[in-house]
Structure 1
């Protein structure tokens, strides 16, 4: 299958490498391919230059966001940062028409000036914007009415999304939400190919609010276990 991954950060790279391993043809999108390949310094998360990743994974095509989306035959994974996702995806709406877009972005607003900041090992915890009465997943769906948006992957580190059995033998839960049942099934099928055995369908895209707001609890658990510790969550029925 021809699958597009939009973004070149650490999370996107986890999906790119796994999809190639599974035999898919992967088309990677970035804002400016020339600028991406010219970078020599790590990004804000400490992830090395993308050209080094490409050297280790030959055969991956790097395009603009629009060209990568156009090259897919039905499935696109959004790894664009939450602050810029709606604008970047809206600009390539024609190339996303009729396709399933799996979004795992968190709508973080960094360095917030708030009354009660939450200190973390790297500074103040970002705030979620939107929150409670809207979600990034819903905003993307409204901006792209002809695209089948599915919110998924967002409740887990992407390294674990693509390798669930690394935690507890895979005995933990992943979630999907979106307006189109077939698109939710497509996301579930991809997760199954990644190794997930427990995928909980939450229904409509409004459930993206809960998944995105979970990001703060995910961070708190991570701090308690030790920064950098990967873990899973399990819905016990």
Structure 2
């Protein structure tokens, strides 16, 4: 399958490499190809520049967001949450009729709030939207002809593409969306990644809980030791 990954950060790279290993034709989207390739310093998260990484993956093609989406049947959104709606709206025509799997979190970094949450790397970002809306719902409203599925967001992306690295893969992944066929595509991809327990939370409104879980995920990670990877398992009753 031809799959586009929009974004060049660490999470996007995990998907890019795994999809290529699975035999898919992968096209990567970025805002400005020349600027991305010219970058020589790590990003704000410490991720090394994309150019040298791409050089080690000669079968991967880098395009603008629009050109990457235009070439592919399935699109994965790894654009940062603050810019995702604007960037995706600009290429809405290229996404018409396609499945868009969104794993972005609508973080607001360095928030000016009365009671900040200190973390090992600074102040915990806040979420906007939160409670009464979600980033995934905003994307769906902006792209009514695109089938948006919220997925991947409740786990580190390196674990999303390799669930077996934790607990032998015995943990749960969540999806939500309005389109059954798109959710099947997302589930098929997760199965190919190695997931055995994919829980469909129903309509896209459930993305609110999935995005807000980001804070709980961080809290668990801090408790276990910063940088510790872990999984969440939903244990069903009889």
TM-score bin, normalised by smaller chain? over 0.9
Counterpart position of 2:58: 58
Number of residue-to-residue matches in the alignment: 236
Asked if 1:78 is matched to 2:77, the reply is yes
The separation in 2 between residues aligned to 1:234 and 1:40, in whole angstroms, is 40
Asked if 1:95 is matched to 2:60, the reply is no
Per the alignment, in what secondary structure is the counterpart of residue 149 of structure 1? strand
Return 5+ residue gaps in structure 1 as ranges: none
Counterpart position of 2:5: 5
Counterpart position of 1:115: 114
Q: Deviations over 1:136-177 (max 9, x none)?
A: 000000000000000000000000000000000000000010
Shift of 1:185: 0.7
Matches within 5 A, 1:51-200: 51-72=51-72, 74-200=73-199
Shift of 1:57: 1.0
Q: Deviations over 1:89-137 (max 9, x none)?
A: 0000000000000000000000101011100011110000000000000
The separation in 2 between residues aligned to 1:33 and 1:67, in whole angstroms, is 11
Return 5+ residue gaps in structure 2 as ranges: none
Per the alignment, in what secondary structure is the counterpart of residue 183 of structure 1? helix
The separation in 1 between residues aligned to 2:36 and 2:59, in whole angstroms, is 17
TM-score (norm 1): 0.99
The RMSD of aligned alpha carbons is 0.4
The separation in 2 between residues aligned to 1:118 and 1:77, in whole angstroms, is 30
Provide runs of 4+ in structure 1 moved above 2 Å: none
TM-score (norm 2): 0.99
